[in-house]
Structure 1
């Protein structure tokens, strides 16, 4: 099956400007041809480490919402992000829609890309979710702690690690206060704080998604947190899940247990320190391990996806990975799911045993 084509037209001088400032946030004018329509856009390179890769990723700002065209340069399958976001939707967590496509810029075929829906105001409007404020977690300081680095130096600002996308300075201060109280309240005060400020059931599903897929960065960066207009609680949306399903963000094979069964970051520690939440998390993991996080459920999805995008990916000579390793990636993902599922079930049993003794 052919994959859709996206075309971008840009002045050569503007393209040279982007290339000359690849390590900076620069946007230029262009025209995007998509789904039979042409529209004016602003676009530029996106990412951090990927800005230096031979095949760049792009951010496209348009009236209909932000799009990201990810090169997925370090993922041999080019499907780990897409599979992860699909998995999150299966477990009830809002996540970006994706579409594999071919990108042609000024008549030059740049190969296969993954188009990813941006998490912005349009994202929430489409889902009829009220969003009062939105923050991106952009580096590892977004761990909800008061300190930074190996020497545990007090952060200059409790907003370190975040970028404000929607909302006011007051919204940001309220989020900083949430982090401060999270670290300083104890016992009943902490329990009340978590209940009032976090949508705990949704947080547990988001946590379970990061834990099941094995995203080592997913809990300390690469997520979006928004404040609901409905009840003022914070909710979480996954972002950048290329380093998953048995490979890290550099595309290297990694141990199945790289991410602990109970995740990491201060908020997770505080939430799972509450007996009712911890019990609910164990029940959730066991439920997922008997339904959607199983070899039987996921293997057919992975196989179908690889069959659909395989011809285009294997014909793409802009990729980092050799075509002869494509089929082996099915085994990598399959073995990861099988081993990870067993690991998580064992961890839940052991934790329940310790809780019972306590």
Structure 2
């Protein structure tokens, strides 16, 4: 494969099964299919993935190979349509940024997908956060939960202020057992009930605070409004026993929301807004720790000079494929404007956050 190209994946399945999926977008069971890349065929199971994205014209897919596949760095792989992101690069920019600042983050790459001979367009191939994710990084085994809806706000109440039906409502257990559910409930109870004067010394028994702040810095910089209440993975490190955050679904970033609409650079405050973040930043030593981390990231990593070559490279890589994407080919003009739009957001967001650092005294 040449350096300036992306892989083409050819997926084939019985037409009636594809038609069944199209008519039953919430069907979770995999249908049998075949995937071919570089003339290498693989037997797979495939279905749609996501929540509101299933209602969009261009659907996202989940693919399961049954066993570990080195070519696709996983057993289960997600293919995100990135339909609402006119640049198609925000997720990848975000995940690469998280890695750079020291946070756990899924591997990803862009691919071009064809289904039964018809182009489906440019997708982002995304590593699943599961047992293989941990093994590849030589991390100890531990439970993993996906935060799938806005009830996962680390509060006893929903975002509407109503008591939750379950403290772990909205969490999908990817790895672990029912005993781990009890442990997660305990974490949420502790977050909400530890007395203010004891919170700093008690929460470190349950949460890796520094890693949480690194994740928080990534969320604050990229301005993912949704990440405070959903769209993350939660991992309890088997060695330390402490919970860590992993970013997930970061297409609504860099100045656009989940519908692709413009979001002003000052929409999310420097303090964030979920219960856990508020309680952590209520502790002065934690607040200072967060400020130091964020200041370093704003100085060295979240800058136009750092992002410009990455954005340019991704733009040049994807540009030839946009005309082949049936869902994006009519929006090439907007795609062409996105690099400048993202860089302007980074400049404005960086300046805004630097001016807000004094609020963390």
Shorter-chain TM-score bucket reads: over 0.9
Task: Provide Cα deviations, 1:271-297, integer angstroms capped at 9, x if missing partner.
Answer: 111211110111111101110111111
Paired residues of 2:149 and 2:170 also in contact (CA < 8 A): yes
Q: Which residue number corresponds to residue 126 of structure 1?
A: 136
Q: Distance in 1 between matches of 2:347 and 2:327?
A: 32
CA-based RMSD: 1.4
Task: Provide Cα deviations, 1:232-279, integer angstroms capped at 9, x if missing partner.
Answer: 000111000000001111011111111111112111111111211110
Task: Provide Cα deviations, 1:309-340, integer angstroms capped at 9, x if missing partner.
Answer: 11112442322761112221112101110110
Paired residues of 2:266 and 2:352 also in contact (CA < 8 A): yes
Q: Which residue number corresponds to residue 355 of structure 1?
A: none
Q: Paired residue for 2:76, among 51, 59, 66?
A: 66
TM-score, normalised by the number of residues in structure 1: 0.94
Q: Distance in 1 between matches of 2:321 and 2:80?
A: 15
1:212 and 2:215 correspond: no
Q: Which residue number corresponds to residue 50 of structure 2?
A: 47
1:329 and 2:338 correspond: yes
Q: Which residue number corresponds to residue 278 of structure 1?
A: 287
Q: Which residue number corresponds to residue 97 of structure 1?
A: 107
Where structure 2 has 5 or more consecutive residues not aligned to the other structure, the ranges are 69-74
Task: Provide Cα deviations, 1:156-211, integer angstroms capped at 9, x if missing partner.
Answer: 11001211111111111111011011101113532233111111111100000011
Q: Paired residue for 1:27, among 11, 26, 30?
A: 30
Paired residues of 1:26 and 1:45 also in contact (CA < 8 A): no
Paired residues of 1:130 and 1:229 also in contact (CA < 8 A): yes
1:187 and 2:196 correspond: yes
TM-score, normalised by the number of residues in structure 2: 0.94
How much does 1:40 deviate?
1.8
Paired residues of 1:45 and 1:57 also in contact (CA < 8 A): yes
Aligned to 2:142, the other structure's residue is in SS state: strand
Paired residues of 1:73 and 1:320 also in contact (CA < 8 A): no
Aligned to 1:2, the other structure's residue is in SS state: coil
Task: Provide Cα deviations, 1:122-151, integer angstroms capped at 9, x if missing partner.
Answer: 11111111131111101111001001142x
Where structure 1 has 5 or more consecutive residues not aligned to the other structure, the ranges are 353-358
Q: Which residue number corresponds to residue 138 of structure 1?
A: 148
Q: Distance in 2 between matches of 1:195 and 1:304?
A: 41
How much does 1:351 deviate?
3.0
Paired residues of 1:131 and 1:226 also in contact (CA < 8 A): no
Q: Which residue number corresponds to residue 116 of structure 1?
A: 126
How much does 1:17 deviate?
1.5
Q: After the TM superposition, which residues 290-329 of structure 1 pair with which residues of structure 2 at under 5 Å, given as runs?
A: 290-319=299-328, 322-329=331-338
| Number of positions where the alignment pairs a residue of Structure 1 with one of Structure 2 | 351
